[in-house]
Structure 1
């Protein structure tokens, strides 16, 4: 099968969409949102640019879906939902190091949404998803977080750690800060 066959209306269009979204995530993370065009995404995926429009309809929809896909991949790979405090965010640094484009894309889209250039609802939904995953861990280890404030604070710390890790690029520093965050969570249990 050629790369275009899987991206049409027949064939494996779900994986075709995923390849287009992955191309958009990579371009957006490496070069910025302004570089995410139908032609650039199509070229990266090896298809005609009309297929990008066919699958997403608009650039805004492409960006929104790429943002959601990046967020889902990041939360899965970073272990925000864990069975213990020790496991919480245990693959955070590894996840950032292997796919640094995804958080950059998310920060870029978040800033664009705050400025009014993209829908803020998409960003809010993803933040709520992240916080809900943190909340699963928090409540699972015995912390009463009925109003979700503790989970929101823990996620805010993680969100800041993502940015700091991208700035400092120091695994040991980030791991130390994660351990400090885990210690704060342990104190909430006591």
Structure 2
């Protein structure tokens, strides 16, 4: 996603406001205060609160995929899992923003298309990376994606732990096995 530095600063501020205070606290004034600009500038760039939310989600997805190396070439199962392990600790606000939006979509059906896009984007990125490793089992891809999503949520809410390390070790083994059987 191409973005001017000013627009990106507003998107980062949006993510921070929602991560810290929830989606219901998202206002032009809150974003402006976080970014250190006038609220008119937020309105100028995004037009409506829904456009701001949609743009911030696109920004968050792109940022998160960059953090997990989903945009980079990967060569091994270890490479695939390397970005997942500390994702929630490296990009806490981005992850919290995304989960806030996911939960809010239960109360606001107009957010569901954004949530569907979120899930489809991550599923497609996971599938593309696993396919590059020689894994083309759609059920395994879904299982791994759901496990990774759960890992990030657990890291975000409760922190890491040995259980996460064990699950990631198992995911690596599953990927290696599936790739060698392909």
Distance 1:170 1:127 in 2: 23
Superposed CA deviations along residues 69-117 of structure 1, whole A, max 9, x for unmatched, are 1111111111235332110130223332122111111111011123335
Q: Secondary structure at the match of 1:88?
A: helix
Q: Report how many residues are paired.
A: 176
Distance 1:83 1:74 in 2: 20
Distance 1:171 1:76 in 2: 24
Q: What residue is the counterpart of 2:108 in the other structure?
A: 116
**Residues 17 and 26, structure 2, Cα contact 8 Å, conserved in 1:** yes
Distance 1:168 1:45 in 2: 29
Superposed CA deviations along residues 8-42 of structure 1, whole A, max 9, x for unmatched, are xxxxx711110000000011112111121100100
Distance 2:100 2:172 in 1: 28
Distance 2:160 2:111 in 1: 33
Is 2:146 the partner of 1:151? no
Task: Name the structure, 1 or 2, with higher relative contact order (CA <8 Å, separation 6+).
Answer: 2
Q: What residue is the counterpart of 2:59 in the other structure?
A: 69
Structure 1 stretches of 5 or more lacking a match?
Answer: 1-12
Distance 1:138 1:121 in 2: 25
TM-score, normalised via structure 2 length = 0.87
Cα-Cα RMSD: 1.8
TM-score, normalised via structure 1 length = 0.84
